[in-house]
Structure 1
Amino acid sequence: MFVNSKWLILATVVGLYLPVAIDATVLHIAVPTLSKVLYANSSQLLWIIDIYPLLMTGLILVMGALGDKIGYRRLMLIGGSIFGVASIMAAYSTTAHFLIFSRAILALGASMIMPATLSCLRHTFVDEKERNFALGMWVMAGGAGAAFGPLVGGFLLEHFYWGSVFLINIPILLLVLFFIFSYIPKQQIIKEKKINIFDSSMLIISILLLIFSLKSGLNDLNAKYMIIALCGLILGIIFIKRQKQSNHPLFDIKLFTHQSVKYGFIISTVAMIALVGFELLVSQKLQYVYQLSPLKAGLSILPFMIAISVGGVISTPLLNMFGVKKVAVLSLILSSVSMYLLSIVNFQTQYLLSCIYMILLGLSILCAFLAATSAILSGAPLSQASSAGAIEAMSYELGTGLGVTFFGLMASFFYTRNVNFDQFFSIDQINVAERSIGETYQMISHLPDDSAKIIVVESAHSAFILAHSSVLVFSSLILLSLAIFISIFWKEDV
């Protein structure tokens, strides 16, 4: 017998979404650990983190269509089960390559969960104000999960086997799947709904080719990477054209003709890039530069996590009072200001100020997320709720993947240009040591004496601090530019 309680449904949906959000960032704090335990190089480390959101970006679209076909309840049950199995696989990975594979399976399950949960909320909460509250809880779970990922990871890494960062998903999923099976009503199957696997694969390949060419081409400017990037771009263009011409597209491209959907997608993507990029770099800075343990590094950014957690409660009344456009523009401006302030603060000697700036960033970014989510879902017809949910979820995962990629590449770019290890390493060793601070630490064991190690470490710390500051300033300018762009061109208030 089903219990028709939308608040119980909301709690179930949030509970299912939470592990998906945590897994997006739980490994950010584990970069040094994975490097040692699995002997992962810098490229493998980036793919371990990035394969999850990047695959989800392409898979979410076809899963949104699948949700329209079989119903969000079935999709949540299937997705949750796959996510649980993949969590066990990831926890017991013995090589970097198997962990990458396991994270890909995690992405498959998560890509089912995200559009299904949003579709469930869209169907359950018909009243706009109630829906905004429910979306606030969903966004808060996503933001808090992503924000608390490093703290959860840091605690588990310090006290347990590293694979426990994935095993904690299992009890949560078992409980949530029971509630989905028992209390969420079934939906009617839409047999005529077509599932376009080919176009989804095309989108995934396009994204992976572009990201691969970016990551590899930065360190080795080579014609083959330009060709790979061009192939990815061409596939992306073909994908868009096929969506316009298809009778059964993965999602209705015409949804982007609605200003609320188009600008909501842009805001959500850019905001997630900023959140994930900041978190990834600050976690490395706290461990490498300030020599904090994973747990202490996670605790150091606790104010940011708390701000993300309570932001949904604060932003919901603001959204109902002022509307999505005003909330989005103000949130982006405040995020820009806080990013700049974080670029100049010293986390070690000015920790109180850094806490204030992190709180400001967490609150403003979360408000931007909620405004974007409300704009996308409210701008789409109810009949296309799953497709709209897929677009929103895709923006999150695309932003996560791009955040890791662009922040990682920019940090590497600035780091490489501010270190000089010519007198300490051979040419082959220099090519490795100057790529990132993590690889500098890996090469320190090759140095002959302690005095050389001290000089290299101090140089690495100075270079990473400068790189970190430069990336945050650049991010601040991007957020401010987006705020200005939105205020000028978004003519429609939702």
Structure 2
Amino acid sequence: MFSYPKWLILAIVVGLYLPVAIDATVLHIAVPTLSQELKASTSQLLWIIDIYPLLMAGLILVMGALGDKVGYRKLMLMGSIIFGIASVLAAFSPTANFLIFARAILALGASMIMPATLACLRHTFMDEKERNFALGLWVMAGGAGAAFGPLVGGLLLEYFYWGSVFLINVPIVILVSICILKYLPKQNFIHEKKLNILDALILIAAILLVIYSLKSGLKEFDPQFILLGFTGVVLGFLFVKRQIKSNQPLFDLKLFTSKPVKYGFTISVVAMIALVGFELLISQKLQYVYQFSPLEAGLYILPFMIAVSVGGVISTPLLNKFGTKKVAVVSLILSSVSMYFLSVVNFETEYLFASFYMILLGLSILCAFLAATSAILSGAPIEQASSAGAIEGMSYELGTGLGVTIFGLMASFFYTKNVDFYRFFSVDQLKTVESSIGQTYQALPSLSPESADIIMKSANSAFVMAHSSVLIFSSLILLFLAIFIWIFWRETSPKTLSI
């Protein structure tokens, strides 16, 4: 089907995109390890994980325009170099705050790589069938990388120190950078292309301020957090206003007048929130409550990872046969059912039961996500395909970041409500120790063996209740969204997806 250079370019693109996808989830399994090794607080752990997708949500829009201006070859090279340097910084981070900084630099490099790899495929594969095949491999690499990230992290943590989850990126980046220089052709630049850097910064500031105020304000009431959150909302409105007035917006907000785009974006964000949030909390539950090693925890959720990876195989014929709306609604309902039963299962003694619902969750969530992607792309005019792609990419990253934040905050809230350690710690210590199971475990070495055992059992019981409460809440949200979509989304014509 392809000539040799095209195959080679495709291999380069997939090879560069794979570590970007893996880095989005590789730390989910490492939360207990990072909590112990870096003495990271609950807030720091959440920032370590979700600073990566949240920054990408804002940066990816302007990087697409930068790629048009300087060419995808140069953007891929810059992105891979920055990603490699940031991986080294992250691997040798001496503190939690430094790791947050390194993850932010990783996001900068990744936000260059994603649009550059897609642009490279569009320019390399001019034939539609060849391009669809190449895009299918690109999507598969992204889905498999994100799904298997926790297993990769667990495998490395089992035999090496925690920084190895970042160091594996370095040889890949070096090899790919050499291949980019040697095999990728140079392109003509669009020097007059305008870069909306200011708008991107406004969007990033709005997202980070709102997330920071939520994380901090829900734990301790303080007027400054309300002010910061309000400032973030104002910046968000400013961003929208500037996009409406701009001749060259980061993406055309008028696309949201299309119901498929509007509802597709909503489904995509919610589906990613559920996907990432579930993966994050189940990893902690298996390691803290059931004392699994990182590798054992990664292997336990392998059925879920496989289901997410292969979900695309069954989703395309379903979309073509039943239409986007029906697939989205049924997928959301099945995801809701899966979440509920996973909230009551005993993961230690009912593995087959848990595996069945993890598989169902993985397949249904991915079908919902791909139905949303189909709705966004098909709901936009062909001449605005790039803007639709930017909206789809932003929904993915925003959902990933919000999943970590929302699930993390809910777990912390329910955990705090179900523990009572006043007999073992001072008043000053209680606020920290009771904030999360990770903080509780950090305090165990300072207690006597008898007290530590009591605290650990109480903490495990509280986290099980917190985990169940969060999954039940998520189940209800998914169900309400399915009902909302079914009632208010009126498809004007059947939609199909060709991959």
Paired residues of 2:39 and 2:442 also in contact (CA < 8 A): no
Q: Which structure 1 segments of 5+ residues have no match?
A: none
The alpha-carbon deviation at position 462 of structure 1 amounts to 0.9
> Aligned residue for 1:143?
143
Whole-angstrom CA distance in 2 between matches of 1:76 and 1:317: 33
Q: 1:463 to 1:131 in 2, by over 3 A?
A: farther
Q: 1:329 to 1:141 in 2, by over 3 A?
A: farther
Structure 1 window deviating more from structure 2 (458-467 vs 33-42): it is: 33-42
Give the structure-1-normalised TM-score. 0.93
Structure 1 window deviating more from structure 2 (210-219 vs 389-398): it is: 389-398
> Aligned residue for 2:456?
457
> Aligned residue for 2:403?
403
The alpha-carbon deviation at position 185 of structure 1 amounts to 4.8
Paired residues of 2:44 and 2:96 also in contact (CA < 8 A): yes
> Aligned residue for 2:365?
365
Q: CA RMSD in A?
A: 2.3
Aligned pairs (5 A) from 1:180-219: 180-219=180-219
Q: 1:126 to 1:3 in 2, by over 3 A?
A: closer
Letter matched to residue 458 of structure 1: K
> Aligned residue for 2:485?
486
Paired residues of 2:206 and 2:236 also in contact (CA < 8 A): yes
Q: 1:470 to 1:325 in 2, by over 3 A?
A: same
Paired residues of 1:429 and 1:443 also in contact (CA < 8 A): no
> Aligned residue for 1:477?
476
> Aligned residue for 1:287?
287
> Aligned residue for 1:173?
173
Whole-angstrom CA distance in 1 between matches of 2:361 and 2:71: 37
> Aligned residue for 1:423?
423
Q: 1:264 to 1:14 in 2, by over 3 A?
A: farther
Whole-angstrom CA distance in 1 between matches of 2:273 and 2:63: 23
Q: 1:107 to 1:20 in 2, by over 3 A?
A: same
Whole-angstrom CA distance in 1 between matches of 2:384 and 2:171: 33
Q: 1:202 to 1:48 in 2, by over 3 A?
A: same
Q: 1:47 to 1:23 in 2, by over 3 A?
A: same
The alpha-carbon deviation at position 43 of structure 1 amounts to 2.0
Q: 1:9 to 1:383 in 2, by over 3 A?
A: farther
How many residues are aligned here? 492
Corresponding residue SS for 1:25 = coil
The alpha-carbon deviation at position 377 of structure 1 amounts to 3.1
Q: 1:118 to 1:389 in 2, by over 3 A?
A: farther
Q: 1:95 to 1:145 in 2, by over 3 A?
A: same
> Aligned residue for 2:95?
95
Q: 1:151 to 1:286 in 2, by over 3 A?
A: same
Q: 1:148 to 1:119 in 2, by over 3 A?
A: same
Structure 1 window deviating more from structure 2 (181-190 vs 417-426): it is: 181-190
Paired residues of 2:66 and 2:195 also in contact (CA < 8 A): yes
> Aligned residue for 1:107?
107
The alpha-carbon deviation at position 295 of structure 1 amounts to 0.9
Whole-angstrom CA distance in 2 between matches of 1:322 and 1:8: 37
> Aligned residue for 2:64?
64
Structure 1 window deviating more from structure 2 (175-184 vs 369-378): it is: 175-184
Aligned pairs (5 A) from 1:258-337: 258-337=258-337
Q: 1:65 to 1:82 in 2, by over 3 A?
A: same
Whole-angstrom CA distance in 2 between matches of 1:362 and 1:308: 5
Paired residues of 2:158 and 2:294 also in contact (CA < 8 A): yes
Corresponding residue SS for 2:191 = coil
The alpha-carbon deviation at position 332 of structure 1 amounts to 1.6
Q: 1:66 to 1:476 in 2, by over 3 A?
A: same
Letter matched to residue 109 of structure 1: G
Paired residues of 2:35 and 2:439 also in contact (CA < 8 A): no
Paired residues of 2:283 and 2:297 also in contact (CA < 8 A): yes
Letter matched to residue 452 of structure 2: K
Letter matched to residue 251 of structure 1: F
Structure 1 window deviating more from structure 2 (252-261 vs 196-205): it is: 252-261
> Aligned residue for 1:353?
353
Paired residues of 1:122 and 1:382 also in contact (CA < 8 A): no
Percent of matched pairs sharing the same residue: 74
Whole-angstrom CA distance in 1 between matches of 2:7 and 2:253: 32
Give the structure-2-normalised TM-score. 0.92
Corresponding residue SS for 2:218 = helix
Structure 1 window deviating more from structure 2 (8-17 vs 216-225): it is: 8-17
Paired residues of 2:307 and 2:359 also in contact (CA < 8 A): yes
Corresponding residue SS for 1:219 = coil
Whole-angstrom CA distance in 2 between matches of 1:411 and 1:327: 30
Paired residues of 1:62 and 1:200 also in contact (CA < 8 A): yes
Whole-angstrom CA distance in 2 between matches of 1:368 and 1:74: 35
Whole-angstrom CA distance in 2 between matches of 1:190 and 1:365: 39
Letter matched to residue 460 of structure 1: A
Q: 1:183 to 1:312 in 2, by over 3 A?
A: farther
The alpha-carbon deviation at position 382 of structure 1 amounts to 4.9
Q: 1:459 to 1:146 in 2, by over 3 A?
A: same
Whole-angstrom CA distance in 1 between matches of 2:366 and 2:228: 35
Structure 1 window deviating more from structure 2 (135-144 vs 287-296): it is: 135-144
Whole-angstrom CA distance in 2 between matches of 1:401 and 1:470: 21
